Amino acid sequence: MHAHDVTRSAHRYDAIVVGAGLAGVYAVYKLRQIGLSVRVLEAGGGVGGTWYHNRYPGARCDIESLDYSYSFSDELQQEWSWSERYASQPEILRYINHVVDRFDLRPHIQLNTTVVAASYDEEEHVWVFETSTGESYVANYAVMATGVLSVAQVPSMTGLEDYRGRWFHTGDWPEEGVDVAGRRVGVIGTGSSATQLIPLVAEEAGHLYVFQRTPNYTMPAQNHPMKPEVEKDWKANYPERRRFARASGFGHNQVTNHRSGKEVTEEERRAELENRWQLGGLYMMRAFKDILTDAEVNEEAAEFVRNKIRSIVKDPETAEALCPQNLYIGTKRLCSGTHYYETFNRENVSLVSLKDVAIECITASGVQLTDGREYELDVLIFATGFDAMTGAMNRINPRGRGGVTLKEAWAAGPHTYLGLCMADFPNMFVITGPGSPSVFSNMVTSIEQHVEWIADCIQYMRASGYAAVEATFVAQEQWTQHVSEAAGRTLYAKSRNTWFHGANIPGKPVTFMPYVGGVGNYYNKILEVAREGYKGFQFHKVRSVSKV
Ligand code: FAD
Ligand code: N01
């Protein structure tokens, strides 16, 4: 069919939002507020994104829920009560559904609809979306809220198709749950998802085998029921807390120690590291201002955690196998769990270290290693992560100006201007895209910053009579260079074997994708760009181009 025939028969909106997670939900709220007609297209059978798909036992956030929540409505933040310090997946999912109903957004969200292609019509300045339902949609603005941890990665393993047990990925967990009671269960992976899941599966399984390729550092979450005085204090000070989060390094209120790990005595250092262990979760990474930039300071913290592991895990060989070596703490996303290391003291749990061996194949009855060992399993769980940051966008592979595809544009890794827009892809906005703080932040803070910036940009265009906005190539390349230089000043650049670099996906270009220059600095930058007439963008009138 000719492009014009498609646009004639398609459903028309001012904006199409792809994805109904925390980003898509706020986007539809905000864009409707500024008067746009909006349709949200969501692949899943419900709203919630991450919190809809990751229903594995133990799934919860690792940023305090009072922080990891929307700030855009004071009534909402005052009236909603979180039951725990770190909310569990079911509670976050309830919250997102509450927001959708409270603001009457459900009629604008279309579920079970995967966007399979998107192309830019240069004459009309519109995006044309094709979907799994066979219906097409046309919109002036494409708001990509497709998520950066939304494409589950099941590694290609010979024999999986012949496996007679049941297998699952944590990021695509069945709504009805998985019965592991009394069963022989295998978990592949020891990242954040695995460390949350393993202790709970261990309580029910007959025997649990944990297949560990690279140990990571897991902090105790120190989760607990919400303390009424904490909730009261937050609610009394919400405007200030939210302002602080937006201006902070990581988009939240976790207390940072601004001293260097080198300017304190040995005793003070130990006390601070112990304090951080007791605070739990990600607090460890705020122990010293140079923990992620100075290798020696980082190693002090790493060894502190290794000693904790040795003191918790009774079998010395297992303890040593669980201790990460040659891995700067925090450069692989720090894990936060409850009773993770204690779980390896259970009789029904075995750690299978893949340090000197690999998984050879999946057999009809379980997992076989390259040294001939075989494990019979009734249930196999892949906690093997995601095609992060670029996976969902590349799957759609939008076609921009002159037919250029995103995969072509990102062949050497994602290039964006501010993590928000790409040259050759006019009127397309990515929420928390590569090149923005994204996964290096409290993502709700980052989502709100992006959605508000996008809404302001669209309002500016409408007020100025512009039909299209597009990042300039020069601005995009300068920003991408800056993203890379910011990472180069940290230890992240030295640990390249992580999903932050795309290294977990065979064939993916290895390049550090998020922006580590700090949420506050980044926020100032995008506001400044807007204030200066959207510096680095060019705007198109209906038939002419004007450089700004
Ligand atoms: P998502 O929630 O991923 O939503 C994207 C949606 O887009 C999905 O529903 C997907 O189905 C849909 N979609 C994608 N492609 C298409 C398509 N082609 N067509 C139609 N629909 C499509 N972040 C934190 O800051 N703190 C935390 O504590 C935290 N915990 C996490 C725990 C887990 C288990 C995981 C996996 C991630 C966690 N994150 C955390 C990151 C989390 O992804 C973000 O905080 C946030 O939920 C992202 O929201 P989003 O709307 O941007 O993306
Ligand atoms: O995935 P991961 P995740 N054979 O990529 C292993 C967020 N999140 O789902 O390190 C054997 O971190 C792989 O081993 P290795 C958070 O941002 C947050 O756990 O590549 N093993 C690794 O151990 C997080 O970072 C929370 O050697 C294989 C594991 O699988 C992100 O989501 C909770 C393998 C994958 O770890 C992703 O976390 C959950 C193979 N072929 C998620 N392939 C919170 O707590 C992979 N592995 C907030």
How high is the pLDDT of residue 297?
97
> Is it the case that residue 439 has pLDDT exceeding 50?
yes
The pLDDT > 70 percentage for the chain reads 97
Residues facing residue 109 across a β-bridge = 40
End-to-end CA distance of the chain: 36
Q: Is 443 in the pocket of ligand 2 (CB under 6 A)?
A: no
Handedness of CA 246, 249, 254, 260 (dihedral sign): negative
Q: Is 394 in the pocket of ligand 1 (CB under 6 A)?
A: no
Measured in angstroms, how far is the CA atom of residue 86 from the centroid of ligand 1?
17
Ligand 2 atom 39: residue of nearest CA = 193
Instruction: Point out the ligand nearest to the CA of residue 355.
Output: 2
Measured in angstroms, how far is the CA atom of residue 366 from the centroid of ligand 1?
31
Report residue 282 as tokens. 């990600």
How high is the pLDDT of residue 496?
87
How high is the pLDDT of residue 546?
44
Sorting pLDDT into bands at 50, 70 and 90, what band is 4? Answer: low
Residue 190 CA, closest ligand 2 atom number: 23
Sorting pLDDT into bands at 50, 70 and 90, what band is 1? Answer: very low
Helix (H) or strand (E) holding 207: strand 207-212
* Average pLDDT of the segment spanning 420-448: 98
Ligand 1 atom 47: residue of nearest CA = 50
Ligand 1 atom 15: residue of nearest CA = 146
Instruction: Point out the ligand nearest to the CA of residue 147.
Output: 1
pLDDT tens digits for range 216-246 = 999 999 999 999 999 999 999 999 999 999 9
Q: Is 136 in the pocket of ligand 1 (CB under 6 A)?
A: no
How high is the pLDDT of residue 9?
73
pLDDT tens digits for range 267-281 = 999 999 999 999 999
Instruction: Point out the ligand nearest to the CA of residue 398.
Output: 1
> Is it the case that residue 187 has pLDDT exceeding 60?
yes
Sorting pLDDT into bands at 50, 70 and 90, what band is 6? Answer: low
Ligand 1 atom 23: residue of nearest CA = 443
Instruction: Point out the ligand nearest to the CA of residue 170.
Output: 2
> Is it the case that residue 419 has pLDDT exceeding 80?
yes
Q: Is 442 in the pocket of ligand 1 (CB under 6 A)?
A: yes
Q: Is 334 in the pocket of ligand 2 (CB under 6 A)?
A: no
Residue pair 31/38 in contact (Cβ under 8 Å)? The answer is: yes
Please report the domains of the chain, with CATH numbers, ordered by start residue.
Answer: 3-151+387-541 (3.50.50.60), 160-382 (3.50.50.60)
Ligand 2 atom 10: residue of nearest CA = 214
Sorting pLDDT into bands at 50, 70 and 90, what band is 337? Answer: very high
- Length of the chain (residues): 548
Instruction: Point out the ligand nearest to the CA of residue 327.
Output: 2
Ligand 1 atom 45: residue of nearest CA = 443
> Is it the case that residue 34 has pLDDT exceeding 90?
yes
Measured in angstroms, how far is the CA atom of residue 295 from the centroid of ligand 1?
32
Residue 19 CA, closest ligand 1 atom number: 7
Residue 417 neighbours by CB under 8 Å, 6+ apart:
423, 435, 471, 472, 475, 476, 479, 536, 537
Sorting pLDDT into bands at 50, 70 and 90, what band is 5? Answer: low
How high is the pLDDT of residue 268?
96
* Average pLDDT of the segment spanning 520-542: 96
Q: Is 195 in the pocket of ligand 2 (CB under 6 A)?
A: no
How high is the pLDDT of residue 548?
38
Q: Is 142 in the pocket of ligand 1 (CB under 6 A)?
A: no
Instruction: Point out the ligand nearest to the CA of residue 55.
Output: 1
Q: Is 49 in the pocket of ligand 1 (CB under 6 A)?
A: yes
Q: 57 by DSSP, 3-state: which?
A: coil
Measured in angstroms, how far is the CA atom of residue 189 from the centroid of ligand 2?
6
Cα separation, 200 vs 193, in Å, equals 12
Q: 136 by DSSP, 3-state: which?
A: strand
Measured in angstroms, how far is the CA atom of residue 384 from the centroid of ligand 2?
5
Residue 382 CA, closest ligand 2 atom number: 30
Cα separation, 276 vs 329, in Å, equals 14
